[in-house]
Chains A and B, each alone.
Chain A
């Protein structure tokens, strides 16, 4: 992306102007100053820690980790190349896409960090508020602006929320982190009910957008499905209402116990009715004119987003049909890794970052460069990171899909497993994380290898498998159809299995624990027996989660703990 004012706007994300770039440079200078004050002793480690966290810098088991923000998961080819450059130059040649649509680098040196932040700023990127007790990266539907079922493009609102929450004077020292997700479709692809605030947009009267507001959901140690506060919040009140929710939380959220500090605990403690009454009292008392979101502001932000210049469909569909017929592997890939596009002749593609036996969400610098090249050539320069740790090319012409697939295939990115059992979501686990009780990556790799057979995966059908290395649940195991939780069992790594969780659609549910923890290999075998049970007991066309709901956990528990 060029920075000259006459250049076309980047497709899919907000285009920075000079003011935004000045701000980023000032932010880097501020962090440089903070690092120097830490080194001189003017800041204690206790004081420095939240400041570095709010620049995405964690101290893990073996090194610093830097988490770079990818607002609403969208980045352009130049930005992806910057990430590749950082992986090559400052890390061990790879990065890890996260469940908040960000990327993290696991082997960063503290002294390199200001320079890395400067490199990021050169392509309008940063690590602001990717950690810390503040409002985090706002996530959005990975098929935003492309999906056939979309009511409005949630990225425009995610950008408005990103700007509003950036260095917010009142909400930067909250009781705990705060996560917001926004869906522009009634088909909830953002797990809105498992967020501190989930927003689901729909069309209201006179075609104006209204938002369903869900508050107090979350995973972690205490998984809770959020409660609905508003069904029909008008666009102009979006910021004011979120201010009201955050104020009640900042004033009354618990600060004596970090495990009870999320807004979900406050909502549960007060009860929905009382919480809602407090939010409404704040909303009624506040200066609404000051916080009003005028339609003109939404338009001004939307005008900073580039839109794809679609070509006529022509004979793209016929060409694609012939290619699918000729190449069975391509056809199989397309049937799992594509999503319908609203524009005739186009299609969205999910690039799997879950190769057989691989580490979920890890991508090498060469793969990042390839993705940037493909985006530039075939998808208007735009890329999206999904909360399921994959990458989406949003707008690919149907007659280019075969070329895209071949390039991905050659570079270890052609796995045809989106939505299947090997499309595993996993946290970094004890290989990196100081909080973890168990390693998430090796068991993910064993499961990925165990079910690598493409026909077997297809036979099993849609299945979400999530792995967390501890009860903080960064791998969202509660929301997995099958969840795996790493625990410490008398000093040994062990794993519990949960069943029946679901984050998507309007049927959010929390997985139930099957029984006592098992070793890594026992767990892999137990999951294989659970799958066998499903295949034996399912009715025609019934998905795994549906069979779980119909039968309950008992038969699966019997299978999991059956003597070998």
Chain B
């Protein structure tokens, strides 16, 4: 599945843990339930965790310094919990690594994701990158502060979007 990061399509080199099978070697993404198993690996490979929208990000607090990626999952685009998870990871847990959004996401949500701290989106197969690019450029102003600390646009809480 291709990843959209900084406006570019990049290849996803991470492997996902498969339920009921031993963890693969190399850079892996594991569900929260297998996090301690993955942390116990004797390996220099990088590690990421995949959260469901119902998981509490607080559960990652201790492990976070050893994680490179947190994947947030939209079971359906209407389930807005990953927005709060992303923002909490950045604002409360000060996570500096990659936050990836996956699952059922619309291009119309792309800018919201970025402003909540998501850095990469796992695009659905056959996604039209132009539509995502357009969504990113649709607005030049936002009306509230975000964790990106954008520049003020005039007065009040208005922020200039790049």
Which A positions have Cβ atoms within 8 angstroms of B? Answer: 17, 19, 22-23, 26-27, 29-30, 33-34, 37, 42-43, 47, 50-51, 133, 160, 163-175, 239, 247, 250-251, 255, 285-287, 290-291, 297, 300-301
Contacts and interface: CB of A to CB of B under 8 A. Distances in A.
B106 interface: yes
Interface of B: 77-81, 83-85, 87-88, 91-92, 106, 108-109, 111-113, 115-116, 128, 131, 134, 138-147, 149, 153-158
A33 B87 contact: no
Nearest to B53: A255
B144 A168 contact: yes
A173 B77 contact: yes
A33 B139 CA distance: 13
Contact of A172 (B80, B87, B128): B80
A164 B115 contact: no
A439 to B, nearest CB: 31
Contacts of B77: 47, 50, 173
A286 B94 CA distance: 11
Given A17-B154, A33-B134, A37-B131, A167 B84 contact: no
Contacts of B88: 247
A51 B144 CA distance: 20
Given A22-B140, A163-B157, A291-B145, 6 more contacts: A30-B139, A163-B143, A173-B77, A175-B80, A251-B84, A285-B92
A170 B84 contact: yes
Nearest to B57: A251
29 contacts: A19-B141, A23-B143, A27-B139, A30-B108, A47-B77, A50-B77, A163-B158, A165-B144, A166-B143, A166-B144, A167-B112, A168-B143, A169-B83, A169-B111, A169-B112, A169-B115, A169-B146, A170-B83, A170-B84, A170-B112, A171-B80, A250-B80, A250-B81, A250-B83, A285-B92, A286-B92, A290-B145, A297-B155, A300-B156
Contact of B153 (A19, A47, A291): A19
Contact of B116 (A26, A160, A169): A169
Nearest to B106: A47
A285 B147 CA distance: 14
A399 to B, nearest CB: 39
B13 to A, nearest CB: 28
Contacts of A167: 112, 139, 142-143
Contacts of A163: 143-144, 156-158
A239 B128 CA distance: 37
B128 A255 contact: no
Contacts, number: 110
Contacts of A172: 80, 83, 112
Contacts of A164: 143-144, 157
Given A163-B156, A164-B157, A173-B80, A287 B91 contact: yes
A168 B113 CA distance: 11
A251 B81 contact: yes
Contact of A22 (B106, B116, B141, B157): B141
A170 B118 CA distance: 12
A286 B83 contact: no
B99 to A, nearest CB: 13
Contacts of A175: 80
A17 to B, nearest CB: 7
Contacts of B78: 50, 133, 173
A426 B141 CA distance: 38
A457 B131 CA distance: 59
B158 A19 contact: yes
B91 A286 contact: yes
A301 B116 contact: no
Nearest to A37: B131
Which 8 pairs between the two chains have the least Cβ-Cβ distance? A173-B80, A169-B115, A300-B155, A169-B112, A163-B143, A166-B143, A170-B83, A250-B84
Nearest to B56: A251
A285 B134 CA distance: 35
Contact of A173 (B83, B87, B141): B83
A168 B140 CA distance: 14
A124 to B, nearest CB: 15
B142 A173 contact: no
Interface centre among B144, B145, B149 (most CB of A within 10 A): B144
A261 to B, nearest CB: 11
Contacts of A51: 106, 108
A297 B154 contact: no
A298 B108 CA distance: 31
Nearest to B85: A251
A73 to B, nearest CB: 20
Contact of A255 (B79, B138, B146): B79
Nearest to A298: B156
B101 to A, nearest CB: 12
Contact of B87 (A47, A170, A239): A170
A247 B84 CA distance: 7
A254 to B, nearest CB: 11
A494 B98 CA distance: 57
Contacts of B112: 167, 169-170, 172
A301 B154 CA distance: 11
Contacts of B154: 17, 19
A174 B83 CA distance: 10
A101 to B, nearest CB: 20
Nearest to B93: A285
Nearest to B75: A255
B79 A173 contact: yes
B82 to A, nearest CB: 9
Contacts of B131: 37, 42
Nearest to B137: A26
Nearest to A251: B84
A165 B155 CA distance: 16
Contacts of B80: 133, 170-175, 250
A258 B98 CA distance: 33
A15 to B, nearest CB: 12
Contacts of A166: 143-144
